[in-house]
Structure 1
Amino acid sequence: MNSTKRTGLGGVEDTLRNFWETRPVRPLAGGKVGGVAAAIGVRYGIDPILVRVAFVLAALYGGAGLVLYLLGWLLFPKEGDPAPGSAEPTRQPTSTALAVVLVVLLVPVVFWLTSSPSIIGLALGLGALYLVHRNYGDRGVAPAAPTPADAPQPTVPVTDNTWVYPGSAAVTAPPNETPQQTPPAWDPLGAAPFAWDLPEPNEPEEPEPQRPRRRWISFATLGLAAFFGGLAATLGARPDIALAIALGVLGLGMIAGAFLRGGRGLIGAAIPVGALAMLLAVVPPDGITGGLGNEEITPSSIEQVQPHYQRSAGSLVLNMQDLRIADGQELRTGAKVGFGDILVRVPPKVDVTARCAAEIGGVQCLRDSADGRRAERSVVDQGDDGPGGGNLVLDLTVGAGNVEVIRG
């Protein structure tokens, strides 16, 4: 029987309506943060660990997973205490205070989804949830109340010492005749007539056969991830892009494994690949070298200013506020930090041409600022006194951190 017949779903509109009416409920126990992943796992019979990994993978693609998680936290009801006289837990809507907090968090996160990977990740996440509901929408839902045709029939009254089969009509004996007694199936010899009025014992239901876990999914997905990641690197893609492609293949394998009961071994591979992809994504394209720790440089003359400063990790402070640059003279310098901050203090009257960039972080380039992923600003500032006082050209880059250029 196909899934459409099992779930009673028709087109897209019927599927979406059914999803909203039977959407997952955030459980009181078993959830980590908000219970969204646990709610989806319980509703569709999927391992919550796989759901959490899927959210993390989607978050790596421009923050799409974070948006989907906050939406689930906002729209999925919470499991409440059972109503009086009922054993079923109630569905409680998200509290007003929490809903306001979630909406406030969603506004800046949604505006952050400006890159193609984030939009693709959001579309893939919503599409995966649609397909899961389409195929497994009948799981985790309480059975419907019996219809009148299926409702149990009223018990037929019988006379004393008369046994009838369940569901059959009692036979009224003619006057002056003794009613005929028929032994039940469990006592064909009629050895225990005193217990014939007991109900028929139900035969134990055979347990559903456990489907074997398909371990080949993990090996096949790992092979495909290595192939496509290596192919991308061979074609000249950056290491973080190649790892992102491999991570996407691992994510597709875990989604397929959720349907086919396999692929749990991919979790251990996806976590380090995702972490390494994020690490390499913030490294400048030409790499980073240099020392570690904090360093402050205060040159007293133009000759002491190096053409370039570089640190692998830490903070770099370049204090040139007391430096004298003659009219018509130009000084060029730059700095690059892998993980950390750059702060440059420029003389109050010098003309400044600066480029400030951060792969992940924020830049404050004199009077212009930006933050987020690949934040960059280029400014030309002649100071409050207008043109004159020499020209200072800066090129400043950090992988993950902040860049700041200030006067004085």
Structure 2
Amino acid sequence: MGRSSTAKFEETLRDFWANRPVRPRRGGKIAGVCEAIGLRYGIDPVLVRIVFVVGAFYTGAGLVLYLLGWLLLPKEDDTGGANAGKRSTSAIVALVVIMLLIPAMMWAMRLEGLIGLVIGFGAVYLLHRNYRERGVTAPSRDAAAAEGNTWVYPGASAPQQPLSELGQDVRTRPEPPAWDPLGAAPFAWDLPEPSEPQPEPAPARPKRRWVTLVTLGIAAFAGAMSVTAANPLSFTFALTLAVLGAGMIIGAFLHAGRGLIAFAIPVAALAVVMAAIPVGGPWRGVEDMQRTFETVEEVGPHYATSVGNIELHMDDMAITTGQNLRTSAEVELGAITVYVPRNADVTAKCTAGQGIATCLGQERTGQNARIEGFDAGPDGPGGGNIDLDLRAGAGSVEVIRD
């Protein structure tokens, strides 16, 4: 059983290499890799492109696979000769592609990227194993004869016996027209052959809108369950994107699911943004939070939201010498602003993963903007102690003294 499976696996790999997709001269957007896969296996090339783009932005695996296809898949050629129809990638293009492959593979050398590469290679293997007959057209009788004087039977996948072995009569012997098989009217030999009947138009493909609707329903349900389970926002978008991707792959075989593209692109962009944000806590909703305090006891230990703004007004709060206040605030996407009393001693730690941090007279911008320091105010030490820990994943953090 094991040997049989191994033999089938090796046979599929050899057959894939011998009959791998050919990048067309027309129709490709960059190198024709997606167009070649779509034509070879009967898949909508637009959906193939979407899968590559999503894989490139989210894990880097899509970019690596595309460059490998550019390097290894032959290009369609019409120069004629014994190898007409295919030509290998030129040396200059191959060198450029290899140079691009090096940083692309370094980008993909993470767990997510490795998983994406395995899924990509597995998808190509399953495509060829189950749909190897799609997109393969037998060479015509005239083309085969012009290439090597060979006879090709209708529907055959390769030329058969050379004409030279069948005798000279096979090529030179005139054949009577099919219009007068009995030869009863010799003058009719000069009449034109009757035209063949026009083929019937192919039936219109049924619209399979249920693929788009069902996939959107499952994606919405999966996202809602992820939010209910308090998963990080980045995980929720990644899960939703995975469901949409699975729907597009299924739709590619059924010639449906194009409507999912409009949903997959913004979800993929949000997934990339959320994955880049260092704050990765559970989903806390969307809220613009404003709090005003008059006493130290009114201040809570922690304030947080996933998307929105947090504004804490302590500027009119009564805090006396010897009193200590410690609080923190956190937002994944938004702004944090804290107003502190004029004469309080403030110790602050302000962090913005992507954005601006303005605290205690200092300012930092860019990635991982971080400020830590102490400020005693215009009256010097005394007047109560306030300890702040403020973090924003993408946005701004600001401490303002009245």
Q: Please give the TM-score of this superposition, normalised by the length of structure 1.
A: 0.59
**Equivalent-residue separation in structure 1 for 2:158 and 2:20 (angstroms):** 19
Is 1:14 matched with 2:11?
yes
Is 1:64 matched with 2:79?
no
Q: Report the counterpart of residue 205 of structure 2 in structure 1.
A: 211
**Aligned-partner residue type, residue 34 of structure 1:** A
1:335 counterpart SS class: strand
Following TM superposition, by how much is the alpha carbon of 1:25 offset from its aligned partner in structure 2, in angstroms? Answer: 2.4
**Equivalent-residue separation in structure 1 for 2:394 and 2:247 (angstroms):** 31
Q: Is the 8 A contact 1:75 1:94 kept in 2?
A: no
**Counterpart selection for 2:42 from 35, 42, 45:** 45
Q: How does 1:327-406 map to 2 (within 5 A)?
A: 333-337=348-352, 339-340=354-355, 399=393
Q: Report the counterpart of residue 105 of structure 2 in structure 1.
A: 110
Is 1:148 matched with 2:165?
no
**Counterpart selection for 1:252 from 229, 239, 246:** 246
**Equivalent-residue separation in structure 2 for 1:138 and 1:242 (angstroms):** 39
For structure 1, which runs of at least 5 residues remain unmatched after alignment?
A: 1-9, 167-182, 292-306, 315-330, 345-355, 366-394, 402-408
* Greater helix proportion: 2
**Equivalent-residue separation in structure 2 for 1:18 and 1:277 (angstroms):** 37
**Counterpart selection for 1:274 from 256, 260, 268:** 268
Is 1:235 matched with 2:219?
no
Q: 1:124 to 1:399 in 2, by over 3 A?
A: same
Q: 1:88 to 1:362 in 2, by over 3 A?
A: farther
Cα displacement string for residues 206-229 of structure 1 (whole angstroms, at most 9, x for unaligned residues)? 455443232211111111111122
Q: 1:24 to 1:396 in 2, by over 3 A?
A: farther
**Equivalent-residue separation in structure 2 for 1:14 and 1:197 (angstroms):** 52
Q: 1:88 to 1:149 in 2, by over 3 A?
A: closer
> What is the count of residue pairs matched by the alignment?
301
Following TM superposition, by how much is the alpha carbon of 1:124 offset from its aligned partner in structure 2, in angstroms? Answer: 1.6
1:337 counterpart SS class: strand
Q: 1:209 to 1:11 in 2, by over 3 A?
A: farther
Q: Report the counterpart of residue 119 of structure 2 in structure 1.
A: 124
Q: 1:106 to 1:362 in 2, by over 3 A?
A: farther
Q: Is the 8 A contact 1:250 1:266 kept in 2?
A: yes
**Equivalent-residue separation in structure 1 for 2:329 and 2:221 (angstroms):** 39
**Aligned-partner residue type, residue 133 of structure 2:** D
**Aligned-partner residue type, residue 271 of structure 1:** I
Is 1:137 matched with 2:132?
yes
**Aligned-partner residue type, residue 218 of structure 2:** L
Following TM superposition, by how much is the alpha carbon of 1:279 offset from its aligned partner in structure 2, in angstroms? Answer: 2.5
Q: Is the 8 A contact 1:247 1:273 kept in 2?
A: yes
Following TM superposition, by how much is the alpha carbon of 1:266 offset from its aligned partner in structure 2, in angstroms? Answer: 1.0
Q: Is the 8 A contact 1:217 1:257 kept in 2?
A: yes
Of residues 54-63 and 204-213 in structure 1, the stretch that sits farther from structure 2 once superposed is 204-213
Q: 1:109 to 1:341 in 2, by over 3 A?
A: farther
**Aligned-partner residue type, residue 13 of structure 1:** E
**Counterpart selection for 2:79 from 79, 83, 93:** 83
Q: Is the 8 A contact 1:40 1:48 kept in 2?
A: yes
Q: Report the counterpart of residue 30 of structure 1 in structure 2.
A: 27
**Equivalent-residue separation in structure 2 for 1:120 and 1:268 (angstroms):** 25
1:112 counterpart SS class: helix
CA RMSD of aligned residues (A): 4.5
Following TM superposition, by how much is the alpha carbon of 1:280 offset from its aligned partner in structure 2, in angstroms? Answer: 2.5
Q: Please give the TM-score of this superposition, normalised by the length of structure 2.
A: 0.60
**Equivalent-residue separation in structure 1 for 2:229 and 2:309 (angstroms):** 29
1:11 counterpart SS class: helix
**Equivalent-residue separation in structure 1 for 2:134 and 2:230 (angstroms):** 46
**Aligned-partner residue type, residue 127 of structure 1:** G
Is 1:100 matched with 2:95?
yes
Q: Report the counterpart of residue 376 of structure 1 in structure 2.
A: none
